[in-house]
Structure 1
Amino acid sequence: FTWNRRLPLPTVKVGLSSGAMAVLGAGVIFATTSTQVAIADAQTYLATGGAQMELQAPPAITTHSSDRVMKLVKYLEKSDAKMYGAFWCSHCYDQKQTLGAEAMRSIPYIECAKDGANSQRKLCQEKDIPGYPTWEIDGKYHPGEQTLDELEELVGLKAKAATPLTTELP
């Protein structure tokens, strides 16, 4: 027996037919099974009233607020400050960690992710929040993670660096 010899045409036809039937059969089984799984998933979703989506809470804040931050919080409260974010946003988490747990209990946090716990996604969409985190301070929006210096500047706790309007001639 050699591998390069020609097979009779009927043998080739039987081999190709068998292969085609195997592929066709596997396709039918796959289509039937995946359709049944999809129908079962849809039935479960409808039976639970669509409540199958698990809401996600943001990670716990593990830092404490400094005296400097607590002073800043008083000014943020006077400025009606709010922080918009999403539970999955690493910059939001870093911002919260910078401020600490005590401060974040006093600062309103608005969850914008649709699958986030206490989601206020519609409000975030209405306000056209550009990204996370975004601070609303005195009705103005400040996207991005802010340093303590930047937040102090935004609430007027720290004077902005003065830029001279004129320069002296040499």
Structure 2
Amino acid sequence: MADDNTSSLQAGRTGLIARIPDAEPAVSAWRERFDPSAREGVPAHVTVLFPFLDENRIDAHVRSILTAVIGRQHAFDLLFESCERFPGVLYLAPVPDAQVRQLTEEITARWPEAPPYGGKLSEVVPHLTIADGPDDTVLDEIETSILPHLPIASRVSSVDLMVHDGARWQTRVSFPLLE
């Protein structure tokens, strides 16, 4: 969710994330400095779908469908072994990423009006953003500090619906995966 300028988000914007708490010790200080979503309450995560539906569209029926779609997927393990980059962005790359992609595809198939990243990207690349915006020298410094903490293993057992209230992101509901 850090791939959008969160400071300009209106209340009611939503996203679906897989929390990666095992990465927090390695990335939280950098995320607080260089990831606007972290300063607005989003934990270390891999985005499943952003943006999702506006909050006013998420009723009991939508939550029921999300429960079914997400709940039929098995919990899975991710391993973060390396840092990668988009222009101006440093991130941890999850391996394997097929189950994150599958979740994104299934939810998008159900709600095609909510394409990943608003349809701006032709390919979904699952990732955990560490820093967004600093120059390459700073990204190099951050990467050097992160590498000794790798690999990071994490189990994904749920997907959280996050809602922006105009200032901060809040977790509205957590959808469990099959164990």
* Structures share fold, TM-score greater than 0.5: no
**TM-score, length basis structure 2:** 0.21
Structure possessing the higher relative contact order (Cα contacts under 8 Å, 6 or more residues apart): 2
Instruction: Identify, as 1 or 2, the structure richer in strand.
Output: 2
- Bigger fraction of residues in helix: 1
Specify the structure having the higher radius of gyration (Cα).
Answer: 1
TM-score of the pair, normalised by structure 1: 0.21
